[in-house]
Amino acid sequence: MSAQAHSGEGVGSGWVVDFILLGAIWGSSFMFMLLAVQDFGPLPTSAVRVAVAAASLLPLVYLRGLWPQLRANWKPLLLIGVFNSGIPFACFAFALMSITTGLSAILNATVPLFGALVAWVWLKDRPNASRVLGLAIGFAGVALLTWDQASFRPSSGGIAPAWAVLACLVATLCYALAANASKLYLGGLHSLVTAAGSCLGAALGLALPAIWLWPAHMPGLQAWASVTVAGVVCSGIAYVLYFRLIEKTGPARTVAVTFLIPLFALLYGTLFLGEAVTARMLWCGLVVLLGTALSTGLLTLPGGRRNSSRH
């Protein structure tokens, strides 16, 4: 991969279509998970999604001659997969039984925020003043956003909103841990191998709990269709787009897709699910995104120096 591809310089505007499409696809994953979890329950929903995703990605690994890479690194791939896909998908499926898809997507936008924090604590990647300010702003935005969800009393769905919010934050923390672990233990592997191994590890990790908690009544056609789309499109095809963006523009620009996901999720939730979008959600969401942009170096204070390290 060329230096220009890594930095995102010297590329045309063709990447913009892939970028917007990826944001639109990942923004829809919350809607499809919500439609599936009502029949399947959280753990079976997540297990079927990652199983479908693995089934769609593993043939690509084989056809591109990457199977030896996966076989040689199967232990870290499967373990990291539990934290990269298994636990997060289960947490978000659990959360969607109580809070809206829009709120879940805004909380999902804290992934780079937690990534910067984990890199600081674990990898000793000390942030500059601009990024420290970003961490403070981002977490303040999360606190403001979820303040009215702080009740631990069960909602109509049987789950207290506060537990749902905590589940989303556990999911984003797991994403951050998995990303940094991948940097340490999976360096040099093709990104398609990492994605396929991650989904396979998550599927194996969730298999027994999903079987144990499988619904007594067969889920309906809408639930099966939703979880299949979530697996094939929101995981399989989305990963392919993600890899292509990294090759075209580099990781620094690709990670900015995080900013698009809540916008599409809010749009889908309003149009198709009848969810309300409040001014509080929009303003606090902007605060979270501002903090994320500063903490990852995508945005710097006047006179500051852009940080080029990856998270």
For the segment 71-117, what is each residue's pLDDT rounded down to a tens digit?
Answer: 999 999 999 999 989 999 999 999 999 899 989 998 988 888 888 88
| pLDDT given at position 194 | 87
More confident residue, 244 or 227: 227
Least confident of 48-57, 84-93, 294-303: 294-303
For residue 142, pLDDT beyond 60: yes
| pLDDT given at position 112 | 80
- Predicted TM-score (pTM) of the model is 0.84
Least confident of 23-37, 55-69, 112-126, 237-251: 237-251
Query: 3-state class of 160 per DSSP?
Result: coil
| Amino acid letter, 242 | Y
224 pLDDT tier (thresholds 50, 70, 90) = very high
161 pLDDT tier (thresholds 50, 70, 90) = confident
| pLDDT given at position 131 | 81
Least confident of 123-137, 148-162, 194-208: 148-162
- CB burial class (10 A; 0-12, 13-18, 19+) of residue 240? middle
| pLDDT given at position 153 | 67
For residue 123, pLDDT beyond 60: yes
| pLDDT given at position 156 | 57
For residue 145, pLDDT beyond 70: yes
Average pLDDT over residues 257-271: 88
152 pLDDT tier (thresholds 50, 70, 90) = low
The full DSSP string for the chain is --HHHHHTTT--TTHHHHHHHHHHHHHHHHHHHHHHHHHH-HHHHHHHHHHHHHHHHHHHHHHTT-HHHHHHTHHHHHHHHIIIIIHHHHHHHHHTTTS-HHHHHHHHTTHHHHHHHHHHHTS-----HHHHHHHHHHHHHHHHHHGGG---S--TTSS-HHHHHHHHHHHHHHHHHHHHHHHHHSTTS-HHHHHHHHHHHHHHHHHHHHHHT--SSPPPHHHHHHHHHHHIIIIIIHHHHHHHHHHHH-HHHHGGGGGHHHHHHHHHHHHHS-----HHHHHHHHHHHHHHHHHTTSS--TT--------
Average pLDDT over residues 186-211: 91
| pLDDT given at position 305 | 55
| pLDDT given at position 187 | 78
Least confident of 21-25, 79-83, 142-146: 142-146
For residue 11, pLDDT beyond 80: no
For residue 308, pLDDT beyond 50: no
Least confident of 86-95, 114-123, 216-225: 114-123
More confident residue, 49 or 297: 49
| pLDDT given at position 311 | 37
